[in-house]
Amino acid sequence: MSAKPLKAIRVLDLTNVLAGPFCCHQLAHLGADVLKVEAPGRGDLARQLGMDEGLSDRNMGISFLVPNPGKRSMTLNLKSTEGKAILKKLVARADVLVENFRPGVMDRLGLGYDTLNAENPKIIYCAISGFGQNGPLKDRPAYDQIIQGVAGVMSITGDKDSAPQRAGWPVADTVGGLTAAMAICAALNGNERGAFIDVAMLDSLLATMGWAVSNLLVGGIEPVPAGNENLTSAPSATYQCADAPINIAANKQEQWEALADRLGLSTMKSDRRFKTRADRKANRVALNSEIAAALANDTAANWVQELNAAGVPAGPVLTVKQALNHPQFAQRDQIARFELDGRVVNVVRTGIHIDGNPLTVDQGPPELGSETESVLAQLGYGDAEIRQLRKEGTV
């Protein structure tokens, strides 16, 4: 592919923190020109978030750096009359606008979809929120952990003694952002441009819960926390070896039989408690006890190597640091490196390869308002007018 798929697309990113910025992060890497429109003085709240206080103090917090490479930034006060006028001019030239305010905020600003659609009937307007644009919870704050709790994710994370547990990363925000990016790409490919896209983090997260939800809806079986066990199969779980844990997923009959042979447990294949998948699920405690005893005789690395060679899916349980340093990840070239004040900043790319190449962007995350003057000049504002806009606090 000679050019990125969204190379000619202009996106206005009015979003904050993670769900919206992560959506536009995908679009930027796919080639879109993403202009981040931020509040004067403070910008995206994520600029002050992250575990490096030095970066947060200079308005480039780690939480901001991750989903914002490749974007441009301008500041604009959407509460001011002139600020609203400038946004309308930007919309007239744009293909996509993404916002993640609470439902109704843009309408109260006089910048809702109907208003902006009048400026540009082909605009694709994507509103990302916690609970969607309607429903009894639509006006509630949408923090990731709140969504995880309402979606039922926490109720089935952990085991019977530790649940409820939140996922170890903001899964609701990232899934919501990915869902929005997919919807936007679909709308851009429609026969006619122009759409209002309503993405709820709650809906998006529930949609990814697949079997857990379907087992309840279709089978009437309420999901329960299962820890590191796969409730749909056995043996399929995390097991402790002599030095570290590994995951084994012997979901097929032939995989179970190969596992039993390799562990010296061949007699278990004819044991009526373990003959079929249903039998093994019903007797998983006894099954796992035998497997764990056998695995305790060697190291995790050796077992992973030997089991995979025998046709049994197995893998190590790594820390995040170990995962990032793994040769498999390194060869995929998924770390982008930018310079910030003489310091090298590493962030993860999107995970997408096109024609054998990872998606990349040409520049790092933008300084707050770094493109304000150039954008205003493109809209026809002169130097004196821009100075006046700054004096008034519009930009």
Write out pLDDT tens, residues 168-212.
Answer: 999 999 999 999 999 999 999 999 999 999 999 999 999 999 889
CB atoms within 10 A of CB 202: 21
Confidence band (pLDDT; 50, 70, 90) for 142?
confident
In the numeric block, the tokens 């899964």 are attached to 171
Spatial contact of 27 and 34, defined as CB atoms under 8 Å apart: yes
The span from the CA of 318 to the CA of 367, in Å, is 35
Q: Cα–chain-centroid distance for residue 290?
A: 38
* pTM exceeds 0.85, yes or no: yes
Instruction: For residues 87 and 111, give the distance between their C-alpha atoms in angstroms, rounded to a whole number.
Output: 9
Name which residue leads in pLDDT, 46 or 2.
46
Q: Which of 63, 86, 278, 276 is nearest to 169 (CA)?
A: 63
Q: How far apart are CA 189 and CA 203, in angstroms?
A: 23
Six token digits for residue 41: 């003085």
Distance CA 214, CA 223 (A): 10
pLDDT 10s digits, 64-116: 999 999 999 999 999 999 999 999 999 999 999 999 999 999 999 999 999 99
Q: Would you state the torsion angle of the CA atoms of residues 33, 383, 120, 84, taken in this order, to the nearest 10 degrees? A: 110
Q: Quick one: tokens of 263? A: 């562990």
Task: Look at residue 153 and tell me whether its pLDDT is greater than 90.
Answer: yes
Q: What is the pLDDT of residue 12?
A: 98
Two tokens at 362?
Answer: 């040409």
Quick one: which of 268, 315, 311, 325 has its CA closest to 293?
Answer: 268
- How far apart CA 325 and CA 117 sit, in angstroms, is 47
**% pLDDT > 70, the chain:** 99
SS3 content of the chain, % helix, strand, coil (to 5): 40, 15, 45
pLDDT of 1 reads 62
Phi, psi of 95 (to 5 degrees): -105, -30
Spell out the CATH class of 236-317. Answer: alpha beta
All CATH 3.40.50.10540 domain ranges of the chain, comma separated, are 10-208+333-392
pLDDT of residue 178: 98
Structure tokens at 355: 């024609």
- What average pLDDT score do residues 245-267 get? 97
pLDDT at 241 over 90: yes
Which of the four CATH numbers 3.40.50.10540, 3.30.930.10, 3.30.1330.40, 3.40.50.300 does domain 10-208+333-392 have?
Answer: 3.40.50.10540
pLDDT tens-digit profile of 336-380? 999 998 889 999 999 999 999 999 999 999 999 999 999 999 999
Region(s) of the chain under CATH 3.30.1540.10: 236-317
Distance CA 288, CA 268 (A): 12
Cα 7–chain centre separation: 22
Question: Which among 340, 43, 350 has a CA at the least distance from the CA of 185?
Answer: 350
Q: CB of 347 within 8 A of CB of 335?
A: yes
Average pLDDT on 121-125 reads 98
Q: How far apart are the C-alpha atoms of 318 and 330, rounded to whole Å? A: 15
When pLDDT is cut at 50, 70 and 90, the band that residue 18 belongs to is: very high
Q: What is the pLDDT of residue 2?
A: 67
Percentage of the chain beyond pLDDT 90 is: 96
* Rounded Cα gap, residues 18 and 39, in angstroms: 16
The H-or-E segment that residue 180 falls in is helix 171-188
115 CB-near residues (< 8 Å, 6+ apart): 88
User: Would you name the residues annotated as active-site residues?
Assistant: 173
The backbone torsions φ and ψ at residue 110, rounded to the nearest 5 degrees and listed phi first, read 80, 25
Q: Is the dihedral of CA 225, 230, 232, 234 positive or negative?
A: negative
Beta-carbon neighbour count of residue 126 at 10 Å? Answer: 27
Q: Output the average pLDDT for the chain.
A: 95
Closest CA to 156 of 214, 226, 208: 226
174 token code pair: 């990232």
What number is the average pLDDT over the span 233-257?
97
| pLDDT tops 90 at residue 4 | yes
- The bridge status of strand 10-13 relative to strand 33-38 is parallel
SS (H, E, C) 103-136: CCHHHHCCCCHHHHHHHCCCCEEEEEECCCCCCC
Q: Residues in the chain, how many?
A: 395
Query: CB-side exposure of 320: number of CA atoms within 13 Å?
Result: 3
* Rounded CA separation 194/204 (Å): 22
**Which amino acid type is present at position 21?**
P
